[in-house]
């Protein structure tokens, strides 16, 4: 441990009651070098994160942990995904999405037709990911001890069919969430195989989690855009980017305001990742009327109306319906 990190560790013994102020030194990766006193506002102390890791998350809005999920578990998640694609199981509430470039092609009952599974909270095998103790321990460092799994996805980024539709536009996940506070929400995203720039790894804009929620809309892409893939309307294109190249089992935790997306899959393989968004169980729902989130609220409500065939399902209802407690007590979500 560096001297400054040792000093920080000592100081952190006094943090987390009222937010404290410390002067931080640069982290080892040098993505951001604060010169101002830094408030530890984005992470909590549960004796897991080192001072360097805490500072890194505070400054950059993400934290990559190598080798967190075992190859055995990843294989099981992959097998379950394949069973779903072959339609051997029917999971209530599961949304199976297809890439725009292949959605209208002849139906192929295997993974080639599926670009993403959403809302697998009722699939006991896939949902095991959300409750893995080694993941929850990190999640607790960001959201606290009472944890809800709110949003689940298995992303199967297909080889790009030449229209660049396999890209995911730069966005902030908070755009999709009608609950707050943002700082008590975190995503865990685990690579299910090697992900790199060739197959479309995640790309993040470090430090953007300290900004506000921006306006999102469908990007005007010539080849089309996948459903629900809203992008940030304007962000600084010159902001430094970090491509998160990861190995199978590596997991990145990131803040819901962090601007991120993923590139085109230029390989012939399907790039797989599994993710869950967690929130503190005492987060509260907000009304998004009159905010930049109205467009996503409307889209989600239309989908919910078609799916459940009942009027009056609210944006908040759709989240309350899929949220599951994974640790501690269920409070307000
Ligand atoms: O896995 C990816 O390609 C990006 C996923 C993502 O950012 C999302 O679905 O919000």
Give residue-wise pLDDT tens across range 1-26.
444 444 444 434 333 333 322 223 33
- Which of 74-83, 117-126, 194-203, 294-303 is predicted least confidently? 294-303
Say yes or no: CB of residue 98 within 6 Å of ligand 1: no
d(CA 299, CA 135): 31
- Which of 67-71, 159-163, 219-223 is predicted least confidently? 219-223
Q: What structural domains and CATH numbers belong to the chain?
A: 12-60 (no CATH), 71-327 (2.60.120.620)
Q: How many CB atoms lie within 10 A of CB 130?
A: 25
Say yes or no: CB of residue 157 within 6 Å of ligand 1: yes
- Which of 205-209, 228-232, 288-292 is predicted least confidently? 228-232
Place of tokens 């694609």: 85
Average pLDDT over residues 211-229: 82
* Mutation pick for ligand 1 pocket among 197, 275, 277 (CB with most ligand atoms within 8 Å): 275
What's the predicted TM-score (pTM) here?
Answer: 0.86
Say yes or no: CB of residue 199 within 6 Å of ligand 1: no
Closest CA to 152 of 318, 300, 262, 275: 275
Q: Kindly give the pairing relationship between strand 116-118 and strand 147-157.
A: antiparallel
- Which of 68-72, 97-101, 293-297 is predicted least confidently? 97-101
pLDDT at 9: 44
Contact 111, 82 (CB under 8 A): yes
Say yes or no: CB of residue 168 within 6 Å of ligand 1: yes
Q: How many CB atoms lie within 10 A of CB 237?
A: 8
d(CA 310, CA 82): 32
d(CA 311, CA 316): 14
Whether pLDDT at 70 is above 60: yes
Share of the chain above pLDDT 70, in %: 84
In this structure, the residue with its CA closest to atom 6 of ligand 1 is: 261
- Which of 80-89, 217-226, 250-259 is predicted least confidently? 217-226
- What confidence tier does 37 reach under pLDDT thresholds 50, 70, 90? low
Give residue-wise pLDDT tens across range 140-185.
999 999 999 999 999 999 888 787 878 889 999 999 999 999 999 9
d(CA 249, CA 267): 20
**SS3 call for 242:** strand
Q: Kindly give the pairing relationship between strand 202-204 and strand 260-262.
A: antiparallel
Place of tokens 């899929």: 322
Tokens of 40: 């530890």
Tokens of 99: 């890439």
In this structure, the residue with its CA closest to atom 3 of ligand 1 is: 262
């Amino acid at each position: 441990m560096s001297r400054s990190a040792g000093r920080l560790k000592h100081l952190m013994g006094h943090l987390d009651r009222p937010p404290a102020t410390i002067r931080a030194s640069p982290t080892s990766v040098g993505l951001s070098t604060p010169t101002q006193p830094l408030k530890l506002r984005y992470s909590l102390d549960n004796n897991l994160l080192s001072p360097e890791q805490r500072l890194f998350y505070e400054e950059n809005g993400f934290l990559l942990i190598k080798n967190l999920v075992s190859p055995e578990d990843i294989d099981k998640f992959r097998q379950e995904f394949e069973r779903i694609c072959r339609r051997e199981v029917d999971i209530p509430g599961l949304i199976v999405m297809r890439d725009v470039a292949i959605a209208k092609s002849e139906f192929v009952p295997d993974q080639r037709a599926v670009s993403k599974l959403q809302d697998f909270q009722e699939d006991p095998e896939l949902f095991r990911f959300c409750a893995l103790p080694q993941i929850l321990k990190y999640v607790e460092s960001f959201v606290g001890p009472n944890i809800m799994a709110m949003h689940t996805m298995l992303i199967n980024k297909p080889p790009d069919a030449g229209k660049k539709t396999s890209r995911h536009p730069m966005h902030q996940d908070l755009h999709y969430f009608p609950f707050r506070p943002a700082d008590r929400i975190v995503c865990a995203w685990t690579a299910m195989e090697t992900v790199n720039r060739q197959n479309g790894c995640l790309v993040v804009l470090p430090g953007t989690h300290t900004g506000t929620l921006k306006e999102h809309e469908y990007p005007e892409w010539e080849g089309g855009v996948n459903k629900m893939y809203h992008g940030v309307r304007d962000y600084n294109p010159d902001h430094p980017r970090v491509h998160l190249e990861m190995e199978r089992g590596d997991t990145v935790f990131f803040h819901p305001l962090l601007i991120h997306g993923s590139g085109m899959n230029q390989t012939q393989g399907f790039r797989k990742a599994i993710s869950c968004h967690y929130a503190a169980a005492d987060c509260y729902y907000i009304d998004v009327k009159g905010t930049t989130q109205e467009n996503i609220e409307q889209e989600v409500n239309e989908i919910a109306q078609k799916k459940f065939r009942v009027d009056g399902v609210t944006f908040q209802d759709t989240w309350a319906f899929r949220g599951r407690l994974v640790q501690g007590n269920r409070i307000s979500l």
